[in-house]
Structure formats: structure tokens, C-alpha cells
Amino acid sequence: MSNTPTLQKTIMTDSTRLKPLTTNAGTASEPSETAIAANHINIFYGAFKAIADVSMAVEARKITAIIGPSGCGKSTMLRAFNRMNDFVPTARVEGEILLHGQNLYAPGVDPVEVRRRVGMVFQKPNPFPKSIYDNIAWAARLNGYRGDMDKLVEESLRAAALWDEVKDKLKQSGLSLSGGQQQRLCIARTIAIRPEIILMDEPCSALDPIATIKIEELMQELKQRYTIIIVTHNMQQAARVSDRTAMMMLTEDGKRSGTLIEFDDTNVIFTRPKDKRTEDYVSGRFG
């Protein structure tokens, strides 16, 4: 464990895991900026080490996919970024998550404020049993929004590509919508709190292919303004939507902790990965 390295130092020195954030061969991208970074994260459930030493710098306004076989800690890692693991009584996090240079796990950091900056969309659509309008208005009011609520609801629904489908039934329950619409409502709700980063935990796994395509298209729109981290067990989806891909896998030291084995531009991960295990996984040889 390094003693509180700065974010910059982490990126430069920890070259075994993190490649320098310069342009990658084959992709034309402007110099990138880091939105949020994990720094030697270890996560324990009781005595069990679920995540072992993960460091990754997530680029702003890009889509970063976390892939890997089942049970390798993808969701656990994702939930570290907005302190959702706080709700697991036995969970303990070591290391740092840095947002604007602040460690989100430092004592005195308010997890509620963290989750307002880092919003989350879940695997199963979970609209509140309230009207479509109130699903969004409630989230916005929580965060102290006192402006024109009608306008915010419309903007959020438009941004989530749902407005045209629901504009005539805003008073209906959010649960009256189809699964794909519900998931877009959850995205709209997340947008309404104006986060910087949106975490998505297998957001399409409960949806049919058409709804999935809509969400994926929406993600491309959203990345103009937001940083997105998506966990997916669908490799085609990772290849389709993401700019960067983090490959996680269980360690082979007998402890079976999840760890990051490769993190690179998505086309590199899928066409010429450096790690043999990544190559086997993305080519479908196991997992």
C-alpha cells in the first residue's frame, strides 16, 4: 500500500495495471481527463477478500465497460464507486476512490453526497411505485432542486429518449411501463439529479433485444455529457457500446478474489489483448 499517492502519481507509476492516458494506436481521441479513479481497492466481505488490489482510472465522458466471468466481483467493484457496498453490513473497503482528488472513503465524506455525484442504474428496472412524473420529481427534490419541475421532468425524459412515449401519461404509475421503458425511466431519474458519473449494473440483462438497443443508443447520447461505467456479462454489448474495457477475473492464488487483469481501449481488448486470459474470455473459449 502506498501512502496516499496523488491521482496523477497513481496513473503514472502503476503502469502494470494502468496504461498512460494517452491516445491509443488505432483510436482517434483527444487527450483524456480522469473522472473517477480506483486506487488499490481491496474489498472484503467479512474475512473473504472479494476484490484484490484494483486500480483503474476512468476517463471522463467515455463509456467504460467492466467485463469478466460470473462471480469475479464486477458488481462489487462497480458499487465501490458510489459506496453502495456500505449497505452490506460485513463489507469493508480498503484503498481509495478518487473523485476531484477527494478520496470517497476518507472519514468525514458523506456517502449521500457521493451518490448524488455518482448515480446508479440497476440490473432490474426499479421505478418507485409513484407516477412517472413523481419518479423524476422526487429524485430531483431530494437533491434540493427548486426550479421549474415540469421543465426538468420533460428534459430528463427527453434525455432518456422516453418523452415521446410517456408525455401523455405522466400521471400513470411508473410500473405501468414496459421493462425497457422502466429502465429508461430509471435513467431519466438518475439524469435528473445531475450526476457526473452514471454507474450501470447490467442495465439490459432483464430487457429484450429491442429495448437493449434503445438503451445502448441512449448511452451513446449520454456520454456526450456524462461518464458511464457499465458492468455487463454480454461481451457483444461491451464491444458495441464501450470506449474502454476493464477485464476482471478471479485470482489463481487459491483465494479466488476478483481482480483487474487488463484495462485498455475496447478495440484493443477485443482484437489484440495482451493477456492470454482476456483473449480466451473475449473469444468465447471460457466464461
Partner 1 sequence: MTQALSSLPVTDPQDRHVDWAARLRRKPRPVETVVQGLLFLCGAISILTTLGILLVLGNESLAFFTDPEVNVFEFFTGTHWQPQTGDFGVWPLVNATLMTSAIAMVVAMPLGIFAAIYLSEYAAPRAKAILKPTLEILAGIPTVVFGFFALTFITPLLRSIFGEDTVQIYNNASAGLVMGLMIVPLIASMSEDALSAVPRTLREGAYGLGATKLETTVQVVLPAALSGLVAAFIIGVSRAVGETMIVAIAAGATSQLTFNPFEAAETITGHIARISGGDLSYGSLDYTSLFALALTLFVITLGLNLVSRWLVNRFREQYD
Residue ranges binding partner 1 (CB under 8 A): 82, 84, 87, 89, 112-113, 115-116, 119-122, 124, 126-130, 138-139, 142-143, 173, 175, 186, 189-190, 193, 199
Alpha-carbon torsion angle 10, 15, 18, 23, nearest 10: 110
Q: At its nearest, how many Å lie between partner 1 and the CB of residue 36?
A: 15
Based on DSSP, count helices (H) and strands (E) in the chain, helices before strands: 11, 10
Of 51 and 78, the one with the shorter C-beta distance to partner 1 is 78
Q: Nearest 5°: CA angle at 263, between 232 and 222?
A: 50
Q: At its nearest, how many Å lie between partner 1 and the CB of residue 65?
A: 19
- H/E stretch holding 163 reads helix 163-166
Of 21 and 206, the one with the shorter C-beta distance to partner 1 is 206
Q: At its nearest, how many Å lie between partner 1 and the CB of residue 87?
A: 7
Cell of 222: 449520454
Of 35 and 120, the one with the shorter C-beta distance to partner 1 is 120
Q: At its nearest, how many Å lie between partner 1 and the CB of residue 227?
A: 16
Pick from 129, 124, 125, 134: nearest CA to 157: 134
Q: At its nearest, how many Å lie between partner 1 and the CB of residue 72?
A: 21
DSSP helix/strand/coil, 241? helix
Of 159 and 235, the one with the shorter C-beta distance to partner 1 is 159
CA dihedral sign, ordered 203, 207, 208, 214: negative
Of 33 and 113, the one with the shorter C-beta distance to partner 1 is 113
- H/E stretch holding 230 reads strand 227-231
